[in-house]
Amino acid sequence: SYVLTQPPSVSVAPGKTARLTCEGNNIVFKSVHWYQQKPGQAPGLVIYYDNDRPSGIPERFSGSNSGNTATLTVARVEAGDEADYYCQVWDSSSDHVVFGGGTKLTVL
């Protein structure tokens, strides 16, 4: 089965740029979606199809996908961005949805 690997935690100072990675075998050939989950809340979509933003998501959030790594970039990080972030793909070979283990973004 397809596996997505995310670092457990990333820390960044306010106003700086956070880069959250998601590794998977030839992930470049898959569409990657990213979700933000704050404590006690359901997840919410922040990036889909590698680099599209749903309405209402700030332009500070962007994504990229190349080789074996997809990246969610959060520019000019704010305290309110502190959350868990999950990458997700659809594995066509098994017709299963796969989530990464999640990264906790801490704003210092």
Partner 1 sequence: EVQLVDSGGGLVHPGGSLRISCAASGFTFSTYWMHWVRQAPGKGLVWVSRIDSDGGSTNYADSVRGRFTISRDNAKKTLYLQMDSLRAEDTAVYYCARSMADSAMFPFDHWGQGVLVTVSS
Q: Could you list the residues that contact partner 1 (CB under 8 A)?
A: 1, 31, 33, 35, 37, 42-45, 48-49, 54, 84, 86, 88, 90, 92, 95-102
Minimum gap (Å) between residue 79 Cβ and partner 1:
23
Among 87, 85, 72, 83, residue whose Cα is nearest residue 24: 87
Under DSSP, is residue 78 helix (H, G, I), strand (E, B) or coil?
coil
Q: How far apart are CA 36 and CA 96, in angstroms?
A: 21
Token pair of 29, please? 């050939």
Which is closer to partner 1, CB of 61 or CB of 86?
86
Which is closer to partner 1, CB of 99 or CB of 106?
99
Which is closer to partner 1, CB of 16 or CB of 96?
96
